[in-house]
Amino acid sequence: MPLITYDRVTGRISQVQNTPAVRPDDQVMNYSGTFKSGMLQTHYVKDDDVVPRPVFEITTSKEEIAADGEDSARFENIPPGTVAIVNGEEHVVEDGTVELTADNPGEITVGFRLWPYIETNGVIVAK
């Protein structure tokens, strides 16, 4: 039976093995299920159980905008505290929305990160 080492506060799983190397803030639990490759990235511990990490339910108004500085793509339903990464720059979202405009043609890379959600990213094209 594998042992799962995870962070007591966040539930982030750090390792799965027979003999864990435990840090002071880690918790260890026996796991009776089958822990498959990749589950470190897709699962976490919540209420003493290994569960899938939630996915963002962010909506996007459109994936293509005019490069005129006025047309915009709007992302909504973003959980407060999410870090939005726009072309490598990080911004904390407090009001649940991000609106993007562009003055020049090109691709705008957009990502969203907030534990325990699975990080997501995409591209808005400005023409």
- The per-residue pLDDT for range 49-86, each reduced to its tens digit, is 889 999 999 999 999 999 999 999 999 999 999 999 99
**Cis bond upstream, residue 116 (ω within 30):** yes
Six-digit token pair at 57?
């339910």
My answer on whether 28 and 77 are in the same domain is no
Residue 65, domain extent: 59-126
Confidence (pTM): 0.79
Identify whether residues 25 and 66 lie together within a single domain.
no
Give the lowest-confidence range in 3-12, 19-28, 60-69, 105-114. 19-28
CB-based contacts of 37: which residues, under 8 Å, 6+ apart? none
Residues 65 and 122 in one domain: yes
